[in-house]
Amino acid sequence: MKRASKARTAASPAPADPPQHEEHHRPALSPALQVLLALAATVVALAGLSFARDIVGPIALAVVIVIICHPIRHPLERHGWPRWAATSTVIGLAFVVLIGLALLLVFAGVQFARLVADYADDLEATGRNLVEWLGTFGLDKQVSDATAAILDPAEILGFVTSLGGTVISVLTALFFVFAYIIFMAADGSRYARAEQVFGRGIHPTMQRFRSFNGGVRRYYVVNASFGAVVAIIDGLALWAVGVPAPVVWAILAFVTNFIPNIGFIIGLIPPALLALVVGGWPLMLAVIAIYCVVNVVLQVLVQPKFVSDAVNLSLTLSFFSVIFWTFIIGPLGAILSIPLTLLVRALVLGVDPGTRWLRWLSGEDVDAAAGVSGP
């Protein structure tokens, strides 16, 4: 029996192998092609942002203001305030910040226009003298004309007028900014409960945005602190040497302090030119010396280190961000350059673990970030 069983077993055919389905693998893209596709997608996205700058700018401004004001919600809710009351407080504080900044800019613009009108004759005389002085060095007529145009009252008033038009368009967009602030502040309380709804699985994503929000707040706290110190010192120094409207230049120094690296130069040019008109070369050199001592030491040497530590951005990337975002969304991009760069890093580089070295290259302390688990 055993032999017959063995014989039948030996005679039975071996079980057929299961059918193999042919696998068709798409050829992987080469690294060079991947880079080209990524660059092409980036260019398209940036072109879209630039085309929609009138929409993107107000939204970005509203986001930054809400992020700055949002932490006031937490102590109010801990003291038993209902969510609607805490949200209303955030909205009210955001409106105060926005309206206060708008009033400062309007006041400075009006005073600047009055200065140009009051010193129109002096500006023309200074322009002619400067052209004659440049002529003694053999400079061609184009350079002389360009220099004279800088002090031409009509050109300056035209610039003020265009600036006024920009301010009017910004004020028109404030309605939308106010609406964005209301909606974002209301949504902020809802998003804070995301981990309770979806569990700890989304903790890494929430942590990235908490890190982004914290970086934005630290950045503006550092800039506002340094800007206030610089504005007070500049205003008092300009008042002491006799430059007209020192309050206007103090406001300008405060606002331009939010423009990394090159804000110092923007804030220096108007008071230096006015000092040249009012008191000649000695007063102009005195103003330049004041700004070099105060602004260069604080804004160029000391502040960038604090900003870099606050937001974990390299100094090179901070400087490039100003130029890049100004080109993409206009003048508002200069003030919002650091938050926009932080947002791009959080969205693009914070998702893929393989980009850890790129985050380190941008200035982020990746080892510290990996061990952080903020509330």
For 52-86, give one letter per residue: b (16+ CB within 10 A) or e. eeeebbbebbbbbbbbbbbeebeebeeeeeeeeeb
Alpha carbon 354 to its chain centroid, in Å, reads: 26
pLDDT at 145: 58
Predicted model pTM: 0.71
Burial of 301 (0-12, 13-18, 19+ CB in 10 A): exposed
Band (327; pLDDT cuts 50, 70, 90): confident
- Name which residue leads in pLDDT, 269 or 27: 269
> For the ranges 26-40, 94-108, 141-155, 339-353, which has the lowest average pLDDT?
141-155
**So what's the pLDDT on residue 227?**
86
What is the overall mean pLDDT for the chain? 75
What is the reported pLDDT for 32?
A: 73
Q: Are 90 and 74 in contact (CB under 8 A)?
A: no
Per cent of the chain over pLDDT 70 is 70
Q: Name the more confident of 168 and 358.
A: 358
Instruction: State yes or no: pLDDT of 6 exceeds 70.
Output: no
What is the per-residue pLDDT for 236? 92
> Region 284-313: what's the mean pLDDT?
79
The owner of tokens 């941008």 is 362
Lowest mean pLDDT among 110-124, 163-177, 232-246, 333-347: 163-177
Whether 374 has a pLDDT exceeding 50, the answer reads no
Question: What's the average model confidence in pLDDT over 308-330?
Answer: 80
Is pLDDT above 50 for 7?
A: no
Beta strands in 9-166 (DSSP E): none
Q: Which residues of 25-38 are buried (b: 16+ CB within 10 A; e: fewer)?
A: eeeeeeeeeeeeee
Higher pLDDT, 307 or 63: 63
The Cα 283–Cα 339 span in angstroms is 38
